[in-house]
Amino acid sequence: MISHSTYKKLSKPFLLIVVAITMQSCFVAKDYTRPELEETDHLFRTDNLPADSLSMADISWKDLFSDSYLQQYINEGLQNNLDIRTAIQQILVTEAYLKQGKAGYLPTVSATAQMTHQELSGNSQFGSFFSSLDQYELSGSLSWEADIWGKIRSNKRASEATYLQSVAAHKAVKTQLIASIATTYYQLLALDAQLKVTEQTVAAADSSVVTIKALKDAGQANQVAVDQNIAQYNNAKALLVDIKASIFKAENALNLLLGRSSQPIQRGSLENQNFDADIKVGVPATLLSNRPDVIASEYGLINAFELTNVARSNFYPSLTLTANSGFQSLELDQLLDANSLFATLVGGLTQPIFNQRRIKTQHEVAKAQQEQALLAFKNTLLTAGNEVSNALYDYEAETEKFEYRQNEVEALRNAESNSEELLKNGYANYLDLLTARQSALSAELNLIDNKLQQMLSVINLYEALGGGWK
């Protein structure tokens, strides 16, 4: 049966604990709510404002890109790209801090085992009784801070926001990587197509040189015509070298994205590429949930918000409970004896009064950093809207231009063929043929570039909308 005195001794600390737990309802920490964002109302600069919430960002990259080689390279890049692997390690770092933040509610517990030997002065207070003194101790201590004002909770939420920000940053890297791999791959296909056209032009120019020399021998052309044709032939050969160099560099760039050493790249052809997905941008607000950098930026705002809560709670008193218990004895064989038992329980309430303005400064800095995070969030959102608008306009412009480019190429190839026929029959001069051939080559190269830009605008739109990470 517990004595009255013992009951009183136990009831006081118990009461203190109850009071501490009760006071935790006195949070001064605020709950985060997303700020009103007028910026989302007119993010997309277009005459046809989207009303459908569906966005092409919801489509998996496996459904957007049908080329089997490209799918293989995207898979490889997601596994081996060094930026992706770095982002994963950053997630692990923030995850460790998150676990630490969740442990903030738990007490700090430590254990001590020690032996103290003391040689006493003969002239000291106890020197006449002891020449030396040994003391043995086996103890444990516990310290716990009550989360009265929500400081620990806010620290935990700040850690959670930082972790989720790193996860979103990883998704942003994925989105960017997929877009970069697809862009480089399509650039390679476009260069292949330009190489093919240029090789055909070189062959035609070579044949033309033979023809012009024959006409000169027949007295129907002069040396100037021969020299001009030879110059055009060599110009096309030089262009061929430039394209091959660009192909070599593009292959190296793609290998770097894949996280591997330089090597030849297997690939399809430009004419077999197409996008079956509907070009839908969704309503502007979908960027808040689809675009990883926007998501990451908002988590940065949440982190700053919670740290402001922490700084605000520092103005209020903190309640700490400390307990220490164990065994102390002058004799080792009596260490675990009941008479060697000791215990201490301390409850402390600390109110900062004057600390050289540190707390106020921390609060002012936290508020300013929160405002900075809000401005960064809004800027990220505006940038996202700008990129969507540009990509959408580019797609529409390149699509409209493509038909005109096709008609131009057809007309100039006909002009080249007719000029060559007229030259052979003496109804045209060599300058007409040279001009027609050069114009046809430029137009065909422009058509290939037009198709490339059309495809890249789809990729840019997909990335701008936040596609690729789902």
Could you read off the pLDDT tens digit of each residue along the chain, which spans 470 residues?
444 454 444 445 544 444 444 444 456 678 888 888 776 666 776 555 555 567 788 889 998 898 999 999 999 999 999 888 888 888 888 888 788 877 777 778 888 888 887 776 666 655 556 667 778 888 888 887 777 777 888 888 888 999 999 999 999 999 999 999 999 999 999 999 999 999 988 988 888 788 778 878 877 778 887 888 888 889 989 999 999 999 999 999 999 999 999 999 999 999 888 876 677 777 777 888 889 999 999 999 999 999 998 888 888 887 788 888 888 887 777 778 888 788 887 877 777 777 768 888 888 999 999 999 999 999 999 898 888 888 888 888 888 898 898 898 888 888 888 887 777 777 766 777 777 878 888 888 899 999 999 999 999 999 988 988 88
**Separation CA 182–CA 406 (nearest Å):** 24
Sign of dihedral through CA atoms 311, 312, 314, 319? negative
Q: HSE of 86 in the Cβ direction (CA atoms, 13 Å)? A: 8
- The DSSP-derived string for 251-289 is HHHHHHHTTS---------GGG----S------GGGHHH
The alpha-carbon radius of gyration of the chain (Å, integer) is 38
- In this prediction, residue 122 carries a pLDDT of 62
pLDDT of residue 73: 96
| Amino acid, res. 241 | V
Query: Nearest 5°: CA angle at 143, between 141 and 145?
Result: 175
Whole-number pLDDT of residue 129:
64
Residue 7 pLDDT: 43
Q: Give the residues across from 112 on adjacent strands.
A: 139
| Length, in residues, of the chain | 470
Residues 282 and 53 sit within 8 Å (Cβ to Cβ): yes
Q: Are 56 and 279 in contact (CB under 8 A)?
A: yes
In Å, what is the CA distance from 181 to each residue of 67, 161, 222, 254, 259? 12, 30, 52, 6, 11
Helix axes 82-102, 68-80, angle to 10 degrees: 50
| Amino acid in the structure at residue 77 | G
Quote the CA–CA distance of 20 and 15 in Å, as a whole number. Answer: 9
Count of other CB atoms within 10 angstroms of residue 66: 15
Domains of the chain: 27-108+148-317+358-464 (1.20.1600.10)
CA 66/CA 77 separation, integer angstroms: 17
Q: How confident is the model at residue 4, as a pLDDT?
A: 47
Q: What is the distance between the alpha carbons of residues 253 and 242, in angstroms, rounded to a whole number?
A: 16
- The per-residue pLDDT for 51 is 55
